[in-house]
A and B are shown apart, each in its own frame.
Chain A
Amino acid sequence: SAVISQKPSRDICQRGTSLTIQCQVDSQVTMMFWYRQQPGQSLTLIATANQGSEATYESGFVIDKFPISRPNLTFSTLTVSNMSPEDSSIYLCSATGANSYEQYFGPGTRLTVT
């Protein structure tokens, strides 16, 4: 199994600023993903973090708003840029191991934008 940690666990930010969320996995994984979970909603995939190359974004999400890095197999960052109150949400990092059936999730970062 893989253990995923995220920093920060929560933050309150002002409109117009940016926040970078870090995700660290304790073992090598194949795929890493970033999700958003709004209150009472299911998880929505933001993008797939690709090692050493640009992330692959889902419809409705763009690199300028959510730049993502993955410099190695076990670490990724998600930046929420030029934040507005609509960006208030929980952001979750996820990874799949060698057996892609198993998908692990980080504890999430609770972001509040005022």
Chain B
Amino acid sequence: KNQVEQSPQSLIILEGKNCTLQCNYTVSPFSNLRWYKQDTGRGPVSLTIMTFSENTKSNGRYTATLDADTKQSSLHITASQLSDSASYICVVSGGGADGLTFGKGTHLIIQP
């Protein structure tokens, strides 16, 4: 069964600190892995998309890594800001009519 597991479920850090979110998946076949940011009351917005051959990809203060061998990904946020408070969803392309398997997300709270 295709699954995407994210950890931690929730995280609270102080503004300016760094943090890393984890994503493990068992999706086959694998096409790509995406990280989305979902602000409260809004739809998910894409941060990064990585294919099998990509190990790391950055988008500003967000850096995603992918290890296709161990089927793990991480999202590192540098110098966190209050606006980073959101849910971060890991999505793996593979299986399903839409080809996507969604994680439950990590709820990140940045405190001043």
Contacts and interface: CB of A to CB of B under 8 A. Distances in A.
B77 interface: no
Contacts of B93: 101
Contact of B97 (A43, A45, A101, A108): A45
A30 B92 CA distance: 20
A15 B20 CA distance: 43
9 contacts: A41-B104, A42-B103, A43-B89, A45-B96, A48-B98, A102-B49, A103-B100, A105-B43, A108-B41
Nearest to A105: B43
A26 interface: no
A107 to B, nearest CB: 5
**Interface size band for B:** 20 to 34
Given A92-B43, A108-B43, A31 B98 contact: yes
Main secondary structure of the interface of A (DSSP, over half): strand
A54 interface: no
Interface of B: 4, 32, 34, 36, 41-46, 49, 89, 93, 96-100, 102-105
A4 to B, nearest CB: 7
B7 to A, nearest CB: 14
Contacts of B41: 107-108, 110
Nearest to A6: B43
Contact of A56 (B44, B46, B49, B97): B97
Nearest to B4: A42
Given A33-B98, A48-B98, A101 B43 contact: no
B39 to A, nearest CB: 9
Interface string A37-52: 0001111110010000
Nearest to B101: A42
A107 B41 CA distance: 7
A59 B100 CA distance: 15
